[in-house]
Amino acid sequence: MSFDRDGEPALHGKRKLEYFIGSGHRGKTFTFSDEGFSFELPINFYSTPGSGSGGVWDMQPKSQGATEMPLTAPAAPSCLHCHTSDAQVPEAGTENKYGAPLFAHGGITCERCHGGDVAHGVKARKAAKGGARDSKAVGQAQAGIVNPAKLTPSRRDAVCMQCHLEGNASIQQPGRHLYEFRPGDDLSEFVRYYVYSGDGKDNVRAVSQFEALLQSKCKQATGDTMTCTTCHDPHFSPSAAERVAYFRGKCLACHGEAFAAKHHVEQQNCAACHMQRLLTKDVGHTQASDHRILRVPAQGGEPADDGSNGATAGTKLMRFPPVKEEDSLRGLALAWTSLAGTGWRYAIEQSEKFLPEALAQIPDDPDLLAAVGYSEQLRGLTAQAREHYEHALRVYPLSLDAASNLGLIEADAGNIERAAALWKPAFERAPGRSSLGINLARALCLRGHGEESKKAIERVLEFNPDLGTARGMLKQLESGEVKCEVQ
């Protein structure tokens, strides 16, 4: 991809596209890398029926309305986990530095639902061809293979939920990651999902099909008997010509032919009324089938744009799938904190309420410590925030958030050397965080390290070449007129 803009400020550059993610059924996202750090291209391809060319190119949802070329959207592990197979694990302390190749297989392989690894397939093929006929080799080939249908309902459903549940917030468990989940595991040991109870529950998100399904009368009436594979065959997709009859058959398997003979016989497409296609705002240019399977056909609500996603003051967050009792407040506190990042006042209040309680339960949790520190920093409680950031870094020295925010406190206190010492290694591990590099450059400038300051700002521009703040600072550094205040 090349980008060119004449005039002032001019912008010229190119990025080598290395991978695309997505089958193209709905669209494709492209990635590029710089020094091993992988980023998403800010422009996506969206497959749009009826567009003539088969699709459109447009900015990704998070880049809509951008006034500068955004090139620092990290390729997140959670995205790679659900859209690729055998993806690399990010290097410790980084957001998006991976080994090569970024992933071994495009799309989803058998292992995503059945466990095991690629080696078992190789052994099985050898056994079938006569290369390894003994029972031990065949047994090894089958080791670790899971049939989801034989799992308990919760663990069976978790195989689908790992990618088809988003929630209003998802919080990874301490020291665990979604990409570590294997079929047969308890998903809640790796990540916990939180959804609004009350006003926000009817909003539609593109990947929360399982959450919607649990709201359906069909699911509520059949309980654990009904699951995703009741209607979807993971090994088969009907053609466009077959879809209506195929899914109608799934409906009639429960509702029966006698019901069908009386119920809108002129409309063979059950989904057209009861699972309408709804526009979603969290994934641009796409639609999601309404898995609430509404008895009375109606368009559902759309997410609000203010960060609340349609929820109002008084709305609660609850675990999904529901649990009888929370074993800790950690997930709930961090869930509200993630929502507070949008600036939603009610979420900020809930975050401030639950964070201290959660930290009292788990006093050495680095994520909670950093979150509490940030909450205190915003309220001007500098001494308390410093203490919690320092504690977080003692527990987990590679915490980017704790190092970045503690650096601001030290800089404001005049401890510029300490601030620079915090920011330098953090920026090395996360060069896509432009604010880190700019603050490091300013700190170095204040200490009279002009050349080091220039190198830091040049590195910012290597990853984020259209950032006006960085371009302006580089111009000042080169002219000797720089103002070095840390912001």
Q: What is the pLDDT of residues 6-43, one digit of tens each?
A: 988 899 999 999 999 988 888 899 999 999 999 999 99
| Average pLDDT taken over every residue of the chain | 87
Across the range 404-430, mean pLDDT stands at 97
Are the C-beta atoms of 486 and 439 separated by less than 8 Å?
yes
pLDDT band with cut points at 50, 70 and 90 for residue 134: very low
Lowest model confidence (mean pLDDT) among 135-139, 241-245, 252-256, 432-436:
135-139
- pLDDT level of residue 166 (50, 70, 90 thresholds): confident
Say if residues 486 and 419 touch (Cβ distance below 8 Å).
yes
- Of the pLDDT bands very low, low, confident and very high (cuts 50, 70, 90), residue 252 is very high
Estimate the share of the chain in helix, then strand, then coil, as percent rounded to the nearest 5. 45, 15, 40
pLDDT tens by residue, 308-334: 565 777 889 999 998 988 889 999 999
pLDDT tens digit sequence for 354-380 = 999 999 999 999 999 999 999 999 999
Q: Which of 316, 314, 326 is nearest to 358 (CA)?
A: 326
Contact 201, 310 (CB under 8 A): no
pLDDT in the model for residue 304: 44
> Which pLDDT score, from 0 to 100, does residue 53 have?
62
* pLDDT tens column, 140-151: 445 579 999 999
Average pLDDT estimate for 371-390: 98
Best-predicted range by mean pLDDT (124-128, 169-173, 209-213): 169-173
pLDDT of residue 282: 63
* CA 486 vs CA 80, 312, 404, 437: distances in Å: 35, 36, 12, 11
- SS3 string, 443-480, reads HHHHCCCHHHHHHHHHHHHHHCCCCHHHHHHHHHHHHC
